[in-house]
Amino acid sequence: MEDKLTIIFENPDFMIIDKRSGVTVNKSDTTSNELTLQDLIEKEDRMDRNTEDVEFINRAGIVHRLDKETSGVLIVAKNANAFRTLQAQFKERKVSKTYIALAHGIITPLKGQINVPVGRLPWNRKRFGVLSGGREASTSYEVISNFQLPITNEELSLVRLHPETGRTHQIRVHLKYINHPIFADPLYSGRKTARADRKVLPRVFLHAEEISFLDPKSGERVEFKSELPIELKDLLEKFEIKNNNNMVGSA
């Protein structure tokens, strides 16, 4: 991993980071041997440390998370006030997030809503699933286009998703629930399928394309986008397009 942040935007209150796949966001007891995004942020030393807000300091201003293999936009607050303001916006669902995923099969209908609760599996603490005692979770989606794999002729759906809640692994679990797991997802697509997928793509095909929120100082809505990484673009170019509803374009 490069020891350098990719910054999409920066002002005195926050930074928008373009996170690469394979990078863990937060430091923990299990990340002592890897360089995390938090390490890079602390190395840059752009935070206002003149504060008694312990959580802001301990999290290096990181307001939310992306899974290790998920790429895309991530907000980092540079001072304690912005940190708390942005945290409140996530809690109050004022933040709008858009993801791009490649899923197995043909998703129908082309637009829809997935509303099922998500929780940590009691028998496997590393995974999440749809549980009756889980937390409310809602994801809307729109199919962009359909592809067909060469040789196997398996059909795939490129889909844009909008999680209205922020549960861990929410999009991955919701797509698995409707029997359309994400391409190359090692946790939720099944061992045999994931093994075959990861021969052509060694990461999960999930990208945080866009994020929109209220500027913590001005209160005006701002929006930031991240282009689809080259390895995901290259993969799509290898597949045959079957239907093109609203092609991803500059995503």
Q: Are 205 and 184 in contact (CB under 8 A)?
A: yes
Which of 70, 92, 114 corresponds to the end of one domain? 92
The residues annotated as belonging to the active site are: 67
Q: Please tell me whether residues 161 and 246 are part of one structural domain.
A: yes
Region for 151 from its dihedrals, namely left if φ exceeds 0, alpha if ψ lies in -120 to 50, beta otherwise:
left
Total domains in the chain come to: 2
Predicted confidence (pLDDT) at residue 60 exceeds the cutoff of 70: yes
Q: Please tell me whether residues 32 and 130 are part of one structural domain.
A: no
State the pLDDT at residue 62. Answer: 97
Q: What is the pLDDT of residues 20-43, one digit of tens each?
A: 999 999 998 778 788 999 999 999
Q: Please tell me whether residues 102 and 219 are part of one structural domain.
A: yes
pLDDT, mean of residues 207-235: 97
For 44, 62, 101, the CA distances from 177, given in Å and listed in that order, are: 40, 30, 15
CATH number of the CATH domain containing 22: 3.30.2350.10
Q: What is the pLDDT of residues 64-112, one digit of tens each?
A: 999 999 999 999 999 999 999 999 999 999 999 999 999 999 999 999 9
Q: Please tell me whether residues 61 and 169 are part of one structural domain.
A: no
Q: Please tell me whether residues 31 and 98 are part of one structural domain.
A: no
Indicate whether this model's pTM tops 0.85.
yes
Which of 92, 123, 146 corresponds to the end of one domain? 92
Which of 92, 108, 128 corresponds to the end of one domain? 92
Q: Please tell me whether residues 177 and 74 are part of one structural domain.
A: no
Q: Please tell me whether residues 50 and 114 are part of one structural domain.
A: no
State the pLDDT at residue 246. Answer: 59
Q: Please tell me whether residues 136 and 212 are part of one structural domain.
A: yes
> Out of 53-62, 117-126, 132-141, 229-238, which region has the weakest mean confidence (pLDDT)?
117-126
Q: Please tell me whether residues 181 and 75 are part of one structural domain.
A: no
* Locus of tokens 């940590």: 120
Predicted confidence (pLDDT) at residue 198 exceeds the cutoff of 90: yes
